[in-house]
Structure 1
């Protein structure tokens, strides 16, 4: 059995202590973040986690699999590639990840312009949406990154996200994750050099981006 599945860090019955034993290793929670919107190959995980080595990624994947957080499988032909996916129990950690991100974004040490993967960018929209504004909308948009695409729906006070192109989006945003942040949080004009390119209904696009704000920093 993998040692990560059995070792104990704390002599403490609290569930928080056990959670840290399961996902407290460096990179573990970020690996889970990358899997929230669907299975990923080893190479995709490594590309979206700058700084992680192949050896450490392998160790963390083995540890998370041993504790039941994720599973691995081989896609059917013609792909025939191994992918990693969160288990149903692993997916239950989504609200915790969003709450932790919202809390940490208020720190003066938070750098909104550091590297951000597509999955991280989409989770940030779920995390930093204004629920009151989102409650008044039912709006679906597409968000295209250079190597990934997502469908985002503002509905019932939240943002639903699935990987893949939407069928009939009100608007589609195209750019990288930095351009998304500049447009959604910095409110840069669409089509500006630093912002995202938008096609479709511009009023719907503006209504969607108006749902998001960075939280105030603590003093």
Structure 2
């Protein structure tokens, strides 16, 4: 039974009955990055009450969106094929929401999964296909991500690695991705700090990851 019944027969109302409850889409967003244990989901969504997380997971399982599976002697949650069909919806919603982000509010943080999905949202595969393969080591607030772009393929994982460009930034990385700041200006104003590699590779990053605000 749906957690919420809108009393309407239609595709949008049916979808909202499945994933429209608070926190549901953020759980799905994080599971698009990869399977997660209950504790990992709770850690990535620090403000979610434990009873709400448990309820959302139960509802999403009942709707066939996620499933519990054994993995290395523990139970993890992962998206079903039906749930993975939500990926373009989540990416489109992220691009739409990017226009309204503004400055971060107090206590808002960047998480590895949220930043991974933001990068996937901003990724321009047609542009990247014409550029040389490039690896980036990004420190974004407290989050460290290793970003590999090869043709139209993007891979983002936690941690570091041998990179063509290593850089650090905070939430203001949004200003580079939106085109509000040029790469040169982002460096001179301190929005982006180049830690290794050539400064001009930040131009390639800004071309590869772009969303108009």
* TM-score normalised by length of structure 1: 0.74
Q: Secondary structure at the match of 1:40?
A: coil
Match of 2:128 among 116, 127, 134: 134
- Pairing of 1:2-81 with structure 2 (within 5 A): 3-4=1-2, 8-12=5-9, 14-76=10-72, 80-81=73-74
Which whole-Å CA distance do the structure 1 matches of 2:41 and 2:173 have between them? 21
Structure 2 unaligned regions, length at least 5: none
The CA deviation at 1:140 is 3.4
Instruction: Return closer, same or farther for 1:66/1:183 CA change in 2, 3 Å cut-off.
Output: same
Local SS of the residue matching 2:192: coil
Give 1:28 shift.
0.2
Structure 2 distance, partners of 1:136, 1:178, is 28
CA distance in 2, matches of 1:48, 1:58: 14
- What secondary structure sits across from 2:195 in the alignment? strand
Query: Cα offset for 1:30?
Result: 0.5
SS in 2 for 1:198: strand
Which sits farther off after the overlay, 54-63 or 81-90?
A: 81-90
Distance 1:87 1:173 in 2: 35
CA contact (8 A) 1:142 1:165 kept: no
1:85-96 alignment, distance < 5 Å: 85-96=78-89
Q: Are 1:189 and 2:183 counterparts?
A: no
Alignment correspondent of 2:112: 118
Map of 2:155 onto structure 1? 161
Deviation at 1:160, TM superposition (A): 1.9
- Equivalent residues of 1:102, 1:127 under 8 A apart: yes
Counterpart Cα distance in 2 of 1:75 and 1:160: 25
Mapped contact 1:71–1:87 kept (Cα < 8 A) = yes
Contact 2:69/2:77, CA 8 A, preserved across alignment: yes
Answer whether contact 1:70 1:86 (CA < 8 A) is retained: yes
The answer to whether the 8 A contact 1:70-1:90 is kept is: yes
The secondary structure found in structure 2 opposite 1:83 is strand
Q: What is the RMSD computed on CA atoms of the aligned residues?
A: 3.1
1:209 is aligned to 2:198 = no
1:174–1:196 Cα contact (<8 Å) kept: yes
Instruction: Check the 8 A contact 1:37/1:161 in 2, yes or no.
Output: no
State the secondary structure of the residue aligned to 2:171: helix
**TM-score, normalised with respect to structure 2:** 0.76
